[in-house]
Amino acid sequence: MKKLFSYLRGYMLWILLCLALLFGQAMCDLSLPSLMSNIVNIGIQKGGIKETAPNALSADAMKLMQTFLPQDDKEYIQASYQLVKAGSPAEDIKKYPKSETFDIYVRTGGDPDRLGAIFGRSAFSLLAYLKDLAAQSGENLPAQTGSGFTQGLDEIDLSPLYKMQPMLDSLPAPALDKYIRSSAGMDNSLMVQVSNVMVKQFYDELGVDTGAIRMRYILTTGIYMLLLTLAGAAATILVGLISSRTAAGVAHRMRQDVFSKVVGFSGAEFDRFSTASLITRTTNDITQIRLLLVMGIRMICYAPIMGIGGVVMAINKSRSMSWIIALAVLVLILLVTAVFRIAVPRFKLIQKLLDKLNLVTREHLSGMMVIRAFGNQRHEERRFDEVNREFTGVNLFVNRVMVLMMPAMILLMNGISLLIVWVGAHQIEASAIGVGDMVAFIQYAMQIIISFVMISVIFIMVPRAAVSAHRVAEVLDTEPSILDPGSPKDIEEKITGKIEFKNVSFKYSGAEDYVLKDISFTAQPGKTTAFIGSTGSGKSTLINLIPRFYDVTDGQILIDGIDIRDMTQRQLRDIIGYVPQKAVLFSGTVQSNLRYGRRDASDDEIRLAADTAQATKFIQTMPEVMDSPISQGGANVSGGQKQRLSIARALVKKAPIYIFDDSFSALDFKTDATLRKALRENTSNSTVLIVAQRVGTIMNADQIIVLDKGRIVGKGTHSELMKSCETYREIALSQLDKEALA
């Protein structure tokens, strides 16, 4: 994963912007339940009145409230309120219309919470007195505790109580102290709630339009919630856009780097990584990393903020129900851990099985003709089905585990909601929390659970992406075994093409036995050097050492006296025209394939190369001649046509060295002879190396090297080898009669 972070460095500003947007979105989302709680608690239950202590109340109400207060509370209220006589000033009349007819008290200072608690205790004591009074007269009042208490205050009419003031004033001090002490031990938060209910009655008495206050509060809070929702949505869209662009950019750079790295691989690296595996790493594995970035940039940052913020906000709403959150988190952790331990080991297996599936598919498609020729379609179907079933089985197992998470999470959310409602109902009855607080607590619990779901998804995605990142890093961290020298030697502009093998030995990486042993010869410019031998004698391996597809294990290969390891690979391959054993064409046109050897080749040079390779005749029969399309791999031309086009492509380079690795095998004898004659005329100054299986192809070579089990067993012309080399003579006589070989 370290390699992945290195790709993110160029996007750090964008990622920081995402963090800022996600933090803002989280704050918006965390504010919504609290605002909904306020709509229920304040907007609906308290009529939109936020004040815990009245800003104004009538002189009669002030006197009534002070009746049930101890002396220090009376003094604090007197210091916090100022008497305003009826009819003045005009500003107060506008706020409190009925103040024109009676005196009022207006708050000028004091701590609102302390004042609210004082008024609440006074109201509590008042209700206790009224309950006793009602009991003496045989009437019933609502209970003094729980949610019914504030409802009881709502039902009290203050006007008759003012008429009772003389009776209250005449009560002996011990009797009043009894009621004052009844509220002394009550919780301040409950007293503030009680005071808030009384404030509405004080305002109604002063002619304040409390209905308008309620509607204004609900609408204002609702609009604020809408704005927060829109801001959160905008942040979500921006984060989605930025994360997508970041992930796409990282995936693009990663694919480019993998491709560039693979292009520089030698044969040894291709022996280590199969083609199917490299394709999977470049496509599926990088896609897994991209998906992690798209979701991870959002979830990895957003989920912790929401989870932690939700816990804090939920505890602020009700500490007494915080154990429910702890229970939910504990269950979530156990669930995620179980899924993690079950699913993660399968992710690495999935990628390996995908490699295997791609390998079987590629072999099936590339070998379709052979499969049909041998009638093995059923066998290949069974082989594919076996791999496919294994891959599908592991995928289904992982998907089933993942699918179980969602109903488990929904069950958990519903269970937690029921538990909160059950516990919260008892809390509301005891006036410990409001209805809105319980609603907000449920929403915060859901946010916390959803945050943990997000985290669990990331925990499951990260290991799979980590496996993919490790597989991609394996390719990127692989140092090619063939590297350019630190200080390459300068090559003269005119390379003659003289090739010398000096005691060259070679064995493949990890192998014990040498494929080639103690090979020494010289190939002169203007001469043709041919290689022949039985299958597996090392002919193609020897040829592949010259362009450094593999490096020699021992010895030296020199071109014009310069060790090829002292040249850059580009310098070396620029002076070689190479035709591989298996002709390879690229999708495009005939012309684009021929120009592949040299992009700036003229039309005349292309035509000359095609004439030399005996390709002109069949090219002219094609619908668009040089612009005729060539399908992928040259599937729309025959094997002989592919070989001739490959030869023409090499000739376009006009290189001082030409290598033909068994490049005439698909040609008929007539075309072979004509092509070799044209080659001699057009490559008279170049060093030509030919690997062949047919003796007739190399009979006229200036030098023939016979290989057997990786060693040179014969060297010379055809006539010389027929006399001196038993191996060559056996090969020749197995192909041609004595008259043809003479």
pLDDT band at 493 (very low <50, low <70, confident <90, very high): low
In this predicted structure, the answer to whether residue 443 has a pLDDT above a threshold of 80 is yes
- What does the pLDDT read at residue 431? 64
559-605: pLDDT as tens digits: 888 888 888 888 888 888 888 878 788 888 888 888 887 888 888 88
What is the rounded CA–CA span in Å between residue 567 and residue 391? 46
- Give the pLDDT mean for 390-418: 81
Q: Are 525 and 573 in contact (CB under 8 A)?
A: no
Tell me whether residue 503 is in a domain: yes
In this predicted structure, the answer to whether residue 646 has a pLDDT above a threshold of 70 is yes
Domain final position from 654, 684, 706: 654
Pairing of strands 657-661, 81-84: unpaired
In this predicted structure, the answer to whether residue 142 has a pLDDT above a threshold of 50 is no
Tell me whether residue 415 is in a domain: yes
Least confident range from 326-340, 368-382, 441-455: namely 368-382
Listed residue (686, 690, 694) closest to 703, CA to CA: 690
Are 337 and 378 within one domain?
A: yes
The HSE-up count of residue 386 (CA atoms within 13 Å, CB side) is 8
- What does the pLDDT read at residue 228? 92
In this predicted structure, the answer to whether residue 354 has a pLDDT above a threshold of 80 is no
Residue listed under structure tokens 């856009």: 241
Tell me whether residue 172 is in a domain: yes
Tell me whether residue 303 is in a domain: yes
Domain final position from 633, 654, 675: 654
Q: Based on the structure, what is the number of domains in the chain?
A: 4
Tell me whether residue 677 is in a domain: yes
Tell me whether residue 4 is in a domain: no
Domain final position from 175, 191, 208: 208
Query: What tokens were used for 221?
Result: 């809070």
Are 315 and 456 within one domain?
A: yes
Tell me whether residue 47 is in a domain: no
Are 382 and 502 within one domain?
A: no
Name the pTM for this structure: 0.68
Q: What is the CATH number of the domain that holds 431?
A: 1.20.1560.10
Q: Are 192 and 117 in contact (CB under 8 A)?
A: yes
* Packing angle, helices 147-154 and 188-205, rounded to 10: 20
Q: Which letter does DSSP use for residue 156 in this model?
A: -
Are 616 and 507 within one domain?
A: no
Phi, psi dihedrals of residue 449, rounded to the nearest 5°:
-65, -45
Are 91 and 165 within one domain?
A: yes
Phi, psi dihedrals of residue 335, rounded to the nearest 5°:
-65, -45
pLDDT band at 377 (very low <50, low <70, confident <90, very high): confident
Q: What percent of the chain has pLDDT over 70?
A: 92
Q: Is 520 helix (H, G, I), strand (E, B) or coil?
A: strand
Are 557 and 677 within one domain?
A: yes
Question: Which run of H or E residues covers position 531?
Answer: strand 528-533
Are 619 and 531 within one domain?
A: no
What is the rounded CA–CA span in Å between residue 303 and residue 461? 15
Query: What tokens were used for 83?
Result: 């008497």
674-707: pLDDT as tens digits: 877 887 877 778 888 988 888 877 888 889 998 8
Q: What is the CATH number of the domain that holds 592?
A: 3.40.50.300
Residue range of the domain that includes 131: 56-208
Least confident range from 70-84, 137-151, 533-547, 708-722: namely 137-151
Amino acid making up residue 309: G
What is the rounded CA–CA span in Å between residue 346 and residue 338? 14
- What does the pLDDT read at residue 224? 92
- What does the pLDDT read at residue 223? 93
Q: Is 502 helix (H, G, I), strand (E, B) or coil?
A: strand
Which residue intervals of 264-376 are DSSP H helices? 267-272, 275-280, 286-317, 322-366, 368-373
Q: Is 595 helix (H, G, I), strand (E, B) or coil?
A: coil
Give the C-alpha distances (Å, rounded to integers) separating 601 from 217, 335, 643, 646, 654: 81, 67, 20, 16, 10
Are 453 and 333 within one domain?
A: yes
- What does the pLDDT read at residue 102? 82
pLDDT band at 467 (very low <50, low <70, confident <90, very high): confident
Residue listed under structure tokens 């040249």: 567
Are 289 and 389 within one domain?
A: yes
Are 96 and 158 within one domain?
A: yes
Centroid of chain to Cα 331: 27
Give the C-alpha distances (Å, rounded to integers) separating 55 from 111, 551, 585: 12, 93, 90
What is the rounded CA–CA span in Å between residue 435 and residue 218? 16
Are 391 and 473 within one domain?
A: yes
Tell me whether residue 183 is in a domain: yes
- E strands within 349-484? none
- What does the pLDDT read at residue 226? 94
Q: Are 594 and 610 in contact (CB under 8 A)?
A: yes
Q: Which letter does DSSP use for residue 144 in this model?
A: S
- What does the pLDDT read at residue 739? 52
In this predicted structure, the answer to whether residue 239 has a pLDDT above a threshold of 80 is yes
Are 126 and 179 within one domain?
A: yes
* First-last CA distance in the chain: 68
